Amino acid sequence: MDNLELIDIIEEQELLNLTKEIKSLEEKLNELEIACLLNEEHDKLNCYLEIHPGAGGTESCDWANMLSRMYMRFCENNGYSYEIIESQKGEEAGIKSFTMYIKGMYAFGYLKNERGVHRLVRISPFDSNARRHTSFASVLVTPEYNQEINIEIKESDLKIDVYHSSGAGGQSVNTSNSAVRITHIPSKIVVTCQNERSQMQNKEQAMKILKNKLYELELLALENKINDLKGNMENINFGSQIRSYVLEPYKMIKDNRSGYETSNVLKVLDGDLLPIMESILKTRRNK
């Protein structure tokens, strides 16, 4: 090997090392940028995430179920622990409602921008004619406030229903009326809990979530952002979505706020949400 060949090898190695160093610095800069963007008052808190199917029956219930799996996989992929507070099965498939508690640093900061209507376009597995269907589901994310919440709730303002928990079947299913649904009549907020073994424990958990939501209402009212927790969630249909997930006739996910696009739909549905979440944080910084 002559000196020229040796110089070429050294230059190639130095270039490779420099490329790796630049990539590492870019990753660190991105991490610092995101850390700076997650600076709002409640960003560090744990949160509750709810999913509700829109109009469309079985199609929307199945889509809601797909979203619940996506968020569970996101938690597993990023070191967040979660607990399913309530999950009500659809009549034929999927879920009619779903609530999970997510615990970890910046859980609310990352997931807060998932709040809104999510739209799915695909060939329906429930349509014998294999036609393309559009389905909608809404996601609501609320922080778990750490401070003592001093909210007075009158018993006369509550409608409390109990029902059978929907378990996995066999020995694991709870056959007593332990699940609890609480409706706060003045605000029309409905909270359900079925993950605990006793009716009393489920009621305590449901009341905790209700107080959390009522406190959220007070904060939002003070800030003049919205009038109630439902906000724009009531209109779960065309034109109201924050993100579209298209599986047919092509594969594409697009977030309507940041403009982020990817054709790797299955990866996102398997919980790879960080790039989308970070794109939204950066977009809002520039506004």
Per mean pLDDT, which of 95-99, 124-128, 161-165 is the most reliable?
95-99
Show the DSSP H helices in the chain as ranges.
Answer: 3-37, 58-77, 107-111, 199-222, 265-269, 274-285
pLDDT at 3 over 50: yes
Residue among 243, 275, 257, 287 nearest 34 (CA): 275
Burial 109-125 (b: 16+ CB within 10 A, else e): bbbbbbbbbbbbbbebe
pLDDT at 86 over 70: yes
**Spatial contact of 99 and 86, defined as CB atoms under 8 Å apart:** yes
Q: Give me the pLDDT at residue 104, please.
A: 94
Average pLDDT, the chain: 83
User: Which DSSP letter does residue 153 get?
Assistant: -
* Percentage of residues in the chain having pLDDT higher than 90: 45
**What does the pLDDT average to over 202-231?**
72
**Spatial contact of 255 and 243, defined as CB atoms under 8 Å apart:** yes
What's the CA gap between 175 and 165, in Å, rounded? Answer: 7
Show the DSSP H helices in 101-198 as ranges.
Answer: 107-111
**What CA dihedral angle connects 216, 218, 221 and 226, to 10 degrees?**
30
What's the CA gap between 27 and 36, in Å, rounded? Answer: 14
Higher pLDDT, 117 or 16: 117
Q: Give me the pLDDT at residue 229, please.
A: 41
Q: Give me the pLDDT at residue 286, please.
A: 62
Peptide bond into 143 cis (omega under 30): no
Q: Give me the pLDDT at residue 50, please.
A: 94
Q: Give me the pLDDT at residue 170, please.
A: 35
Q: At what angle do helices 3-37 and 274-285 cross, to 10 degrees?
A: 70
**What does the pLDDT average to over 135-146?**
89
Q: Give me the pLDDT at residue 92, please.
A: 86
What's the CA gap between 55 and 275, in Å, rounded? Answer: 29
